Chains A and B, each alone.
Chain A
Amino acid sequence: MPVITFPHMGYVYIALKSIFKTLGGEVVVPPRPNKNTITLASKYAPELVCLPLKINLGNFIEAINLGANLIVTGGGEGPCRYGYYGEIQRRILKDLGYDFDLVMVNQTKGIEIIKKFKYITKTKSTWDTLKALYFGWNKMKLIELAEDNLRASRPFEMVEGESERVFLKILQEIDNMKILKEIKDFSGYINESFSKINIEKKDGYLKIAIVGEVFMVLEPFVNFNIEKRLAEMGIFVDRTVKITNWLKRVWLFDSEARSEIKMIKELAKPYLKEHIGGEGIYSIGQSILSKARGYDGVIQIAPFTCMPEIVAYSIFPKVMQKEKIPVLSLFLDEHSVETGIMTRVEAFVDLIKRQGKNKHQ
């Protein structure tokens, strides 16, 4: 009997878990990334490879130790390294003597996803697979709605930690949902729960947009929960990378999401002409867009040696100069230390505060 596991990336595990469970599979969710994950990762992964591969490898080892024997992970066709992660991870784990099966799903190809999911869960019915995927998709939408609400209330809450308490409770409830029916009307409930939180907005609060490589941006453990830390300083944070937006664009041919990404590419064009894989071009485009939307600064987060983000990073000085938007680039790896990173973030915040004083008063 296959026991399915998958890599972590933010709260995506909730949606993935429910997809596999709905299809009748047995699932082991790896422990949330922790110190042990990093220790395992840096021990067995190639030294110069980027951090997401290492963390995912640690996830897999921890999950296998908990009884998983079928790893489901993403794949692609480049030019970003991510496309080859699965093959390298498979070889490393086999070399360590683990017994398991690894399936790479190219997440950009709809038909392949259905086929592979049917293979993984041994389901015969395409209809059931689609239904399960739809269920997972709806969960993901709810999670991101809750995250949006959290972002809107956390910087301004009167009682510290209240928003996060509400958020975690909602996350738990989403995780517990078993059938599609329960999801109905839940978005109303989410909005209502958050509206009960007492908030006080001060005039001239800062707004910062976070751009960068998707894993590093979505996974609070590797980015030192930067969203929370900024919110604690009373800063409104927007994370431009959203799973549902990506899914809408790639799978559902949603015209709104597509036209937005087209606009972002258009904005980046004077600086970067071609799509270079990963989120490189979007990091640049989103920063320019954020400026137009009234944000005071941009923080770019990426793993050390990330190719697309390094191209963006090298171009950012010109963007900063021409578009007059402050950008802080953080390249993180397993050796990054929270204090060091947070000092840089605080200094950056102080800088834009001083710069923004004239504007807001």
Chain B
Amino acid sequence: MAIMKKKVGIPRCLLYYNYYTVYETFFREIGAEIVLSNPANITLEKGLKLVPDEVCLPIKNCFGHILDLKEKNTDFIFLPRFMRVEKHTTFCPKIIGLPDLVKNIIPNLPPLIELDINFSKKIKFYNDINNIGGLFNSGLINNYRAWKMALKDHHAYRNSLTNKKILPSSFVNTPAHQLNIAVVGHPYNIYDPNLNLDLMDKLKKKNVAIYTPDMIPMEIIMNESNELPKRIFWTLSRDIVGASKYFIKHPDIDGIINIASFACGPDSIIGELISFLVKEYGKKPYLLLILDEHTGSAGLETRIEAFIEMIRMVKDRNS
């Protein structure tokens, strides 16, 4: 008789959008059943009731997802603490403190799997990985095999995003009326249709080809961001600025949309930085959209339409 697999809940928020392949492969290989939180809009509303107003939108959304998992009665909730994934960069205070926020705000949660992800503490990390495997009755060797495989899958996934070499060669045959627009911002904002009110769909319907920082190979991002006078010390923001700088300089990109969230610390800094970079390297149309829980779909639509119309007008005049 097959033993019932223990369930692990994974909130569909924040770094999920960067590392989902890691989560999925690892938990599958150690014999856990993965339960994802509901993608529906209702999760955000649940979160809003719990968290102070001053907190940024993605964190509020995350609380909704964790409440949703609580209702799904999973055995565990996976909530890693991202501190450092590489030597020189870190994450924002709210992401570092997220497990503490969740524990102190939501009562009666299922046990949290808090995996400390810290580049400088590798031994502790491997020990933690092994302990997590133990929760699902998986042995030492299998745990490390699962972890190795998870990393392999992650790199394969990342490569599949970047090795298409989307920029610049594919632009040669772009249809005349198609615009190439770079959408930059934190992955959890640009890929979550609930937070950005279907921005990607709205753009696609307007015959726009979308490019995101994930499509830019890491070497380019590093080169671009290393040219800045002061290094950016947030991992995600470094990627955003590096990619934005590449997009700004790239002749085939027609415009840049930056999706930021209200009350996000890094966004308030890099939003300004990107607008200076736009000025520095020739003027590309640049739209900064700041999202919060009150953002209305119609208002967003109007701004995007105006932005795209403006780009088309300039393009038509020049051609």
Contact = CB atoms under 8 A, between A and B. Distances in A.
Are chains A and B native binding partners rather than an unrelated pairing?
yes
Interface of A: 46, 48-50, 75-81, 83-84, 86-88, 90-92, 95, 104, 271-274, 276-278, 280, 304-308, 310-311, 313-315, 317-318, 331
Contacts of A313: 52, 54
Nearest to A85: B269
A78 B93 CA distance: 9
B129 interface: no
Contact of A280 (B97, B105, B279): B97
Nearest to B118: A274
B269 A315 contact: no
B93 A311 contact: yes
Interface string B76-93: 000001010000111111
B96 interface: yes
A274 B83 contact: yes
A120 B100 CA distance: 42
Given A79-B233, A86-B230, A272-B97, A314 B266 contact: no
B273 A91 contact: yes
A75 B230 contact: yes
A230 to B, nearest CB: 23
B273 A307 contact: no
Q: On chain B, which size bracket covers the interface?
A: 35 or more
Interface in B239-265: 260, 262-265
Interface of B: 51-52, 54-55, 81, 83, 88-94, 96-97, 99-101, 104-105, 116, 228-230, 232-234, 260, 262-269, 271-273, 276, 279, 290
A48 B51 CA distance: 20
Nearest to A312: B97
Nearest to B84: A79
B104 A315 contact: yes
Shortest Cβ-Cβ A-B pairs, 6 listed: A78-B233, A276-B93, A87-B230, A48-B268, A311-B97, A307-B93
Nearest to B99: A273
8 contacts: A79-B90, A87-B228, A91-B276, A272-B100, A304-B54, A305-B268, A307-B93, A315-B97
Given A78-B233, A84-B232, A276 B265 contact: no
Contacts of A308: 93
A104 to B, nearest CB: 7
A83 B233 contact: yes
Given A79-B91, A314-B105, 20 more contacts: A48-B264, A76-B233, A77-B88, A79-B92, A80-B265, A84-B232, A91-B272, A95-B279, A271-B100, A272-B97, A273-B99, A274-B83, A277-B96, A278-B93, A304-B54, A305-B54, A305-B265, A310-B94, A314-B52, A317-B105
Contacts of B90: 77-79
Contact of A95 (B96, B230, B276): B276
Given A78-B90, A79-B91, A314 B101 contact: yes
Given A79-B92, A81-B266, A273-B100, A49 B230 contact: no
Nearest to A77: B233
A100 to B, nearest CB: 15
A88 B265 contact: no
B2 to A, nearest CB: 37
Nearest to B279: A95
B19 to A, nearest CB: 19
Contacts of B51: 314
A84 B105 contact: no
B241 to A, nearest CB: 11
B39 to A, nearest CB: 25
Nearest to B116: A274
A270 B33 CA distance: 30
Contact of B265 (A50, A104, A314, A315): A50
Contacts of B273: 87-88, 91
Given A46-B272, A88-B273, A307 B92 contact: yes
A62 to B, nearest CB: 21
Nearest to A278: B93
A317 B271 CA distance: 32
Given A271-B104, A314-B105, A88 B93 contact: no
Nearest to A302: B54
B99 A81 contact: no
Contacts of B100: 271-274, 311, 315
A86 B273 CA distance: 12
A211 B105 CA distance: 21
A308 B93 CA distance: 5
